[in-house]
Amino acid sequence: MLSRQLGKRLLAYETPFYLYDTALLRQTLESVVYESRRYDYKVHYAIKANYDDRILSIIREFGLGIDCASGNELRKAIETGFDPKGIVYAGVGKRDHELRYAIEQNILAINCESVEELEVIDAMSREMGRTTDIALRINPDIDPKTNHCIDTGQADSKFGISYEEVLDNVNHIKGLRNLNIIGLHLHIGSQIRELHVFENMCNKVNVIVKNLTALGFELRFVDVGGGLGINYDMPENEPIPNFASLFAIVHNHLDIGDREVHFEFGRAIVGECGELITKVLFNKTTATGRRLAIVDASMTELIRPALYGSYHNIENITSEEEAMSKYTVVGTACESTDVFDENVGLRKTRRGDLLTIKSAGAYGMSMASRYNLHDIPSAVYGDDFE
Ligand code: LLP
């Protein structure tokens, strides 16, 4: 863990800040590229996980495509130099100006999530004298066995078109002349650690692809989304996620001929490469005896614990004390849910000590807010140390 290696050297920086282990990011990218090449799988990076410029330029060097979820994410990817033909754009609610921009950029596919969206893109494309490449994002109705706040592919979810609705509208969809339906897209959820879930996904995809092909759709690729989980409990044990196992499962269970297979990983690429470094401001004990360590970060820098009850491992990286004590680590925001974790075993913690909140590279900085007019946190990169 980079913060452990750097220890007191980090005291030189204004806290709180994100510390990015750029060497680990490169190793993670080497792993995903190496493992995906065995099967010729195409990998996109879900830019929503972290759109830091330096991180994006490292990811670009490894030749990944991009998955984006808004017009601004698409613009960021294009401005960073990603090839538009490697970019997919999903989202239940794309605004008109975002759709027009995506049509103009001639990206790999707009992943459409409703029949109405297909009709709108068809009409816009006609007005613009274009034919737009589309992937149908189908809701596969699969329980991804993850935190329910971040599942996306169950029947009642807002994401994707229901398979039945696609079947009911086959002729209508095929009649939309300014669309080329070239792909199928699905994404069942995030932080999936039970990999057998992906087997169920493959079985569903096999049926959908077979049926849609029989109905006359010419699907060139299937994009099975992201979702591969990371080890929040013990990140040191598994700094690089197990891409090989996931790819092997998909290889063994997906039966879609020679169509391209695409993935869209966010957390698995950047999650373990980032830590949130924060300074202890004060210690106090509540009337009920709870010992609090009040740190200078808050839910405005990392909202996952407050929003989903997510766990991040925390460690004191500057204390020289041997003795451990239990602390509730709380932030500075005016919200009672602004708690990073309860009952954390930490080396005796004093004002001025630095804590690391680990596995914060994904959905940390990208979900930061300015509540309480907090500043957006800065970033420090492993590459800048000797
Ligand atoms: N593709 C699509 C269509 C997605 O919606 C997502 C994530 C991904 C790919 C990337 O998923 P990943 O590989 O990172 O699991 N803020 C939440 C996670 C929200 C995920 C949203 N969609 C969190 O902090 O856990």
Ligand 1 atom closest to Cα of 90? 3
pLDDT for 304: 98
Give the per-residue SS3 of 19-33. EECHHHHHHHHHHHH
Chain centre to alpha carbon of residue 221: 21
Q: What pLDDT sits at residue 300?
A: 98
CA angle 380, 33, 221 (to 5 degrees): 120
C-alpha to C-alpha distances, 92 to 99, 118, 136, nearest whole angstrom: 12, 12, 12
Nearest CA to ligand 1 atom 9: 226
What is the rounded CA–CA span in Å between residue 353 and residue 200?
A: 47
Q: What is the pLDDT of residue 148?
A: 77
Ligand 1 within 6 A of CB of 264: yes
From first to last of its 386 residues, the chain has per-residue pLDDT tens of: 999 999 999 999 999 999 999 999 999 999 999 999 999 999 999 999 999 999 999 999 999 999 999 999 999 999 999 999 999 999 999 999 999 999 999 999 999 999 999 999 999 999 999 999 999 999 988 877 777 776 766 788 899 999 999 999 999 999 999 999 999 999 999 999 999 999 999 999 999 999 999 999 999 999 999 999 999 999 999 999 999 999 999 999 999 999 999 999 999 999 999 999 999 999 999 999 999 999 999 999 999 999 999 999 999 999 999 999 999 999 999 999 999 999 999 999 999 999 999 999 999 999 999 999 999 999 999 999 97
> Are 292 and 330 within 8 A, CB to CB?
yes
> Is the N-terminal amide bond of 144 cis, ω within 30° of 0?
no
- CB of residue 265 inside a 6 A radius of ligand 1: yes
* Best mutation site among 267, 269, 304 for ligand 1 pocket (most ligand atoms within 8 Å of CB): 267
> From the CB of 225, is ligand 1 less than 6 Å away?
yes
| Per-position DSSP letters for 69-99, written without gaps between them | SSHHHHHHHHHTT--GGGEEE--S---HHHH
Backbone angles phi, psi at 266, to 5 degrees: -110, -75
Which atom of ligand 1 is nearest the CA belonging to 310?
Answer: 25
User: Helix (H, G, I), strand (E, B), or coil: what is residue 103?
Assistant: helix
| 10 CB burial (10 A radius; 0-12, 13-18, 19+) | buried
User: Ligand 1 within 6 A of 82 CB?
Assistant: no
Through-space distance between the first and last CA atoms of the chain, rounded to whole angstroms: 16
> Can you read off the two tokens belonging to residue 253?
């269970």
pTM of the model: 0.97
- The answer to whether the CB of 190 is under 6 A from ligand 1 is yes
Q: How many CB atoms lie within 10 A of CB 160?
A: 28
Residue 353 CB–ligand 1 contact under 6 Å: no
152 within 8 A of 48, measured Cβ to Cβ: no
Q: Please choose, from the candidates 210, 154, 208, the residue with its C-alpha nearest in 3D space to the C-alpha of residue 185.
A: 208
What is the residue whose two structure tokens read 């470094």? 277
Nearest by Cα to 242 from 224, 227, 228: 228
Query: Is residue 315 within 8 Å of residue 4, measured between CB atoms?
Result: yes
Structural element, H or E, at residue 267: helix 267-270
